[in-house]
Amino acid sequence: MKRDELARDSTPESLAEHVDRNAPAVRQEQHEHGVMESVREATYRGHHIVIRTSYRIEVDGVPVEGHLGVTNDGKVHYHAVPNLSFASAVDLVKQLIDTFPEDFETQHGGHGEEH
């Protein structure tokens, strides 16, 4: 992209127009409430491999939302704690509870409406 094109396309107005124009497509691509999907791809001996792993995580019956991913070696990571990876999704959720305890508590010792 040339400098003048970059200047034209990076004004607040042009960025707002881009967001407005693409918002319906983004909303359509969003996952069902509470479902997180990780996609891994590899090529092996000329074959294209796609692995889609879906997670529906709940704590005390309340969905945990966010962006969870799985690496090719099976480690699980979560957007809110990007520098950590875990051997299992259970270990990840335990860490979320330890790291963000206020997100899992209410006045009555239970959990809030959404995690």
Query: Could you report the per-residue pLDDT of 99-114, keeping only the tens digit for each?
Result: 889 999 864 455 445 5
Query: Could you report the per-residue pLDDT of 16-49, keeping only the tens digit for each?
Result: 787 778 777 665 554 445 678 889 999 999 999 9
Taking alpha carbons only, the member of 59, 50, 52, 25 closest to residue 37 is 52
Taking alpha carbons only, the member of 63, 65, 64, 92 closest to residue 76 is 92
Domain boundaries, the chain: 1-30, 35-104
Q: Please tell me whether the overall predicted TM-score, pTM, comes out greater than 0.85 for this model.
A: no
Torsion 91-88-37-78 (CA) sign? positive
